[in-house]
Amino acid sequence: MTELKHNQLISRFFSNLTDGWRRKNANAPDQIVSLMFDQLNGQSVLYAFYRNNVARIWSTSGSCVGAECFLKNYDQKQEGSQTNMVRKSDNLIGVFLAYSDCSEFIILRPTSDDSGNVSFVKETAILAPNYDLIDFKLSNQSIWALWCNAEGEMQVLTYSLSSEIDSFWLPIPLESMDDKYTAKLEKGTDLKHVYCSRIFHSGRFHNNVIAKTLSMFNRSFTYSGATISTAALKRHVCSYIDGELQNERKLQNITDEEFIDLSSNLWEKFYMCCSQYNFEACQPIGMLILDRMDAFCLIRKKFISFFRPCDELEVAFLSENYPGSVASGGSGKSLQQDVAVLIRVLKQIDKFVPEDDKLEIESCLFQLRSTKDVMEAIAASQCFGNQVGIYSKCHFT
């Protein structure tokens, strides 16, 4: 083990890097833009990436043990407005290069010889989408990148590095949590009780978010950022909603059913506004790669989003044309045919089940309700019962 905190070793270790750090001109070609430590054959090395697209590898003794210009036609490229980034996995290094007309990722594999010299082997170059890159993570199998599109919306894209066929950037939709927290309201439901539970007691919204929403709806409510209790905030919100409902009832002669619809719309509007403010306050603050699972985490202030590649059965189900190779590692042709039949039946069921039932199943499962209870309730519904005839349309060969 090498002690990197020793003063003499540190001064010697960075002796050849000080010029790169002390440049007054931040746009100088030999300005360092990124540093990264790594282990090669049990030895600690430091990768230094420069603005002129040159990478140098430094040993702990302060000597340069390798250099590589990983973009040969640099003189023909003009630097873009985005910042170049470098990330690494266990075996690979990913470099994001932004130019005035395009951007790209270059994937490098560091190697060392018996004499201790280190070099980079260029694995591939990947054209980046026309978005602004916020951050990206690299695994041995994939690139996971967080982008900002022209509308200012966050979008996660992934690119497979291990696919045997031509790969392309795949979008990963960030699910709206509102549909999953929201269950259907039956007639006779106390709307005030339901929405107060969702807004104040679900743990989703901070009091500051609710107070900001209320100040937008009710201009007489002043909120200066001071701490306000949940009970007091709840009284203010209920008082505002009740007041609006009574004003509408005085202004126009409405029936009880119309009054319930008006109350539902007003509460829903307030709830959705809270959700919007909460979304803006919970933008991503970090990213994490789980290498062993080939999974990706997007970290927010209040929750973490997990992403993983689809397994082979999921790919077969989502594909327009079933490739017929899902069970290639199984017990021969018989298993292959069984899997093909399973995929066909699932696709037939998916076609005939109403969208409302699909959303209801997903919402109930998200709320950790019993799978058996959920399916029994859905199967007992009239809409679902009418789909029994789908099995007669499935032809097995």
Q: Which residue has the higher pLDDT, 73 or 313?
A: 313
33-37, 135-139, 220-224: least confident range: 220-224
Q: What is the pLDDT of residues 22-56, one digit of tens each?
A: 555 556 667 888 888 888 877 788 888 887 778 88
Helix (H, G, I), strand (E, B) or coil at 37: strand
Of 134, 124, 133, 80, the closest CA to residue 102 belongs to: 80
**Long-range contacts of the stretch 345-351 (C-beta < 8 A, 24+):** 345/394, 346/317, 347/317, 348/390, 348/391, 348/393, 348/394, 349/387, 349/390, 351/390
Q: Provide the CATH topology of domain 32-172.
A: Methylamine Dehydrogenase; Chain H (2.130.10)
Best mean pLDDT range from 129-138, 155-164, 192-201, 379-388: 129-138
pLDDT confidence of 138, banded at 50, 70, 90?
very high
DSSP 265-277: HHHHHHHHHHHHH
Q: What is the pLDDT of residues 155-177, one digit of tens each?
A: 889 998 876 666 789 888 766 55
Answer yes or no: is pLDDT of 136 > 60: yes
pLDDT at 77: 58
19-23, 29-33, 215-219: least confident range: 19-23
Q: Rounded to an integer, what distance in angstroms lies between the CA atom of residue 172 and that of residue 158?
A: 7
- Angle, vertex CA 34, rays to CA 33 and CA 40, nearest 5: 145
Average pLDDT, whole number, for the chain?
77
Answer yes or no: is pLDDT of 102 > 80: yes
135-149, 171-185, 200-214, 233-247: least confident range: 171-185
For residues 128 and 103, is the Cβ–Cβ distance under 8 A? yes
pLDDT at 105: 93
Backbone angles phi, psi at 159, to 5 degrees: -135, 125
pLDDT confidence of 189, banded at 50, 70, 90?
confident
Tokens describing residue 219: 């201009």
Helix (H, G, I), strand (E, B) or coil at 255: coil
